Amino acid sequence: MPLTAAAPTRRVLLIGYGNPGRGDDGLGPAVAAEIEALAIRGLTVDIDYQLTVDHAALIAAHDVVVFADAMIGLAVPYRFAEVDAAQPATLGSHQVSPEAALALARLLFGHAPPGWMLAIAGQDFGEVKEGLSQPARENLAGAVAFLRGWMAEAGSVPVAALHRVE
């Protein structure tokens, strides 16, 4: 009886970044932590305070990357859009945009996967404090549900992998 090879799992990278000590700025790390807890096969999760040039190697080692961050003044709970790596607005060692991170991956490692930006609306960024505001928690729940569905529909990971195995 011939053996059938399993469909390869795409290597997906989720980078959630922001400062959890600045209220809703912690939305990026929060979405990454919730998705990481699902233990999805083929998914690598990285949580950091900001994007840096060091992320380029990790990005280049994956088939698709999703950047997750909080956004001020977003009129919807979250926005998901493709990242255009062709023209990074700026490139510096202290502030790296998703576009610049993808461009660096291509320049330094010869591969930049398709990139997506998940921007989650927050409203409480001023004080030094832990925890998300109530509106940010609601936006987070919607963004997590969306991202799980997107990964299944886009074929990034097998649908069966979206169910946590104990």
The pLDDT value given to residue 90:
61
Q: Give the start-to-end residue ranges of the domains of the chain.
A: 12-162
Instruction: Return the CATH architecture of domain 12-162.
Output: 3-Layer(aba) Sandwich (3.40)
Q: Which pTM was predicted?
A: 0.85
Residue 28 token pair: 């990026």
Nearest Cα to 55, choosing from 13, 25, 11?
Answer: 13
Q: Locate the DSSP E strands across 19-99.
A: 43-48, 64-72, 78-83
pLDDT digits (tens, 9 = 90+) for 98-119: 999 999 999 999 999 999 999 9
Structure confidence at residue 88 as a pLDDT band (50, 70, 90): low
CA distance 11 to 3: 24
User: In this model, does residue 129 exceed pLDDT 50?
Assistant: yes
pLDDT of 150? 86
pLDDT of 160 reads 40
Write down the H helix ranges in the chain.
Answer: 27-36, 55-60, 98-109, 134-153
Residue 8 has pLDDT above 90, yes or no: no
Best-predicted range by mean pLDDT (34-43, 131-140, 144-153): 131-140
Which pLDDT value is given to residue 6? 44
pLDDT single digits (tens) 11-38: 899 999 999 999 999 999 999 999 999 8
